[in-house]
């Protein structure tokens, strides 16, 4: 297994900000959604503080966020610190407006919305990292995807500045230079690694086009024009980047079943899920989040799906 010695990081003084949302929102939940597994090297929570290591348009940055009594306090280190603090309200869901959302169409949705009025969908505004992490999660279990993400960031990412509670790493600057043996050892399947590498070679043009695409359909056309990217990956990228309140991850192993069970008491397929969500078009991701928070879960009928490992020993 490759190892990379992390150089010591000079902490320096952070720059800081405070953000008080106009209405009470669950900012911590919005930020925690971006974490890719319990051992994500780019995000963790320690002592009530959420830590994020990111690669911003101005360079690497570490962000530390504490949310208490309706106030969001942020501190940031590194060349991208100012960009990170300016973007913090969007990460917390400031641009997600549930005005006009009709939760009353279903009693479970209405009750969960009443119990969680502060639910917001935040976005990172970091298109390529959201796309890459979504590609990692194609057609594999979460455990496999998160382990591969952890390995690649630890080996090829950049050590985060600041007094992080453990060594943290921002995503790589040059995904396309990662050697094939590293993807294999990380456990990512060749179709996914090829898709990341090919997209990375077009990173600048993808990011420019994404900045010009102002709705879900345009963003779907952009991402699904990339070889190896389908509707599921596009939706996940839209959710993580822009906090898209309408994106639906069609093709997900679990989502359609969970939506169907929560709304009707039995499983449905993707077409059935889309039919059930149609009355909330424009807010379908919000409904999915509320159903996740509702606690409605279909009883397990069989053994867990165990990941397969095709790596050489």
Q: In which residue are the tokens 């699904």 written?
A: 224
Which residue, 310, 287, 306, 309, is CA-closest to 98? Answer: 287
Q: What kind and span of H or E run contains 235?
A: helix 231-242
2 confidence band (pLDDT: 50, 70, 90): very low
Nearest to 15 by CA among 68, 63, 67: 63
How many whole angstroms separate alpha carbon 88 and alpha carbon 14?
15
39-96 pLDDT tens trace: 999 999 999 999 999 999 999 999 999 999 889 999 999 999 999 999 999 999 999 9
Average pLDDT of the chain is 93
Torsion of CA 35, 37, 43, 47, to 10 degrees: 100
DSSP state for residue 173 in the 8-state scheme: S
Of residues 150, 46, 122, 103, the one with CA closest to residue 283: 103
For 123-178, the pLDDT digits (tens) are 999 999 999 999 999 988 889 999 999 999 999 999 999 999 999 999 999 999 99
Confirm if 91 and 71 have CB atoms less than 8 A apart.
no
Spatial contact of 99 and 201, defined as CB atoms under 8 Å apart: no
Report pLDDT digits (tens) over 188-238: 999 999 999 999 999 999 999 999 999 999 999 999 999 999 999 999 999
What's the pLDDT score for residue 313? 31
Length of the chain in terms of residues written: 313
Please identify which residue in the block is written with the tokens 């949302």: 21
Q: Given its phi and psi angles, is residue 47 left (phi above 0), alpha (psi -120 to 50 degrees) or beta?
A: left
Q: What are phi and psi for residue 172, nearest 5 degrees?
A: -60, 150
What is the number of other CB atoms lying within 10 angstroms of the CB of residue 114? 9
CA nearest neighbour of 108 among 294, 302, 307, 310? 294
* Three-class secondary structure of residue 234 per DSSP: helix
pTM of the prediction?
0.91
Strands 43-46 and 49-56: antiparallel
Where does 15-115 sit in CATH, by number? 3.30.310.20
- Interhelix angle 284-294/270-277, rounded to 10 degrees, is 100
Residue 11 confidence (pLDDT): 60
- Using the structure block, give the residue that is written with the tokens 């509670």: 165
Structure tokens at 296: 């409605």
Structural domain boundaries of the chain?
A: 15-115
- Both tokens of residue 211? 């900045």
The widest CA-to-CA distance across the chain, in whole angstroms, is 55
Identify how many contiguous H helices and E strands the chain contains and give both numbers: 13, 7
Phi-psi region of 222 (alpha: psi -120 to 50; beta: other; left: phi over 0): alpha
If you average pLDDT over residues 5-21, what whole number do you get? 75
What span, in angstroms and rounded, lies between the C-alpha atoms of 290 and 35? 19
- Closest by CA to 252, choosing from 227, 215, 219, 277, is 277
């Amino acid at each position: 297994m490759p190892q990379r010695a992390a150089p010591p990081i000079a902490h320096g003084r952070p720059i800081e900000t405070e953000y008080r949302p106009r209405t009470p929102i669950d900012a911590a939940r919005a930020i925690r959604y971006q974490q890719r597994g319990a051992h994500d090297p780019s995000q963790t929570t320690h002592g009530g503080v959420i830590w994020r290591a990111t690669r911003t348009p101005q360079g690497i940055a570490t962000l530390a966020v504490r949310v208490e009594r309706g106030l969001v306090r942020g501190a940031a280190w590194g060349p991208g610190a100012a960009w990170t603090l300016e973007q913090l309200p969007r990460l917390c869901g400031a641009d997600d407006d549930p005005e006009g959302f009709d939760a009353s169409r279903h009693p479970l949705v209405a009750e969960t919305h009443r119990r969680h009025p502060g639910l917001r969908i935040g976005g990172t505004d970091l298109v390529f990292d959201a796309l890459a992490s979504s590609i990692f999660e194609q057609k594999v279990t979460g455990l496999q995807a998160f382990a591969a993400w952890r390995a690649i960031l630890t080996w090829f990412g950049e050590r985060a500045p600041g007094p992080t509670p453990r060594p943290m790493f921002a995503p790589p600057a040059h995904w396309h230079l990662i050697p094939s043996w590293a993807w294999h050892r990380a456990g990512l399947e060749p179709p996914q690694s090829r898709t990341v590498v090919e997209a990375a070679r077009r990173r600048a043009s993808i990011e420019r086009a994404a900045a010009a695409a102002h709705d879900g359909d345009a963003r779907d056309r952009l991402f699904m024009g990339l070889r190896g990217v389908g509707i599921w990956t596009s939706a996940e990228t839209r959710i993580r980047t822009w906090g898209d309140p309408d994106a639906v991850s069609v093709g997900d192993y679990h989502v359609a079943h969970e939506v169907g069970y929560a709304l009707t008491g039995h499983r449905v397929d993707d077409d059935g899920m889309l039919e059930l969500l149609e009355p909330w078009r424009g807010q379908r991701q919000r409904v999915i989040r509320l159903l996740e928070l509702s606690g409605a879960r279909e009883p397990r009928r069989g053994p867990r799906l165990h990941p397969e490992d095709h790596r050489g020993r």
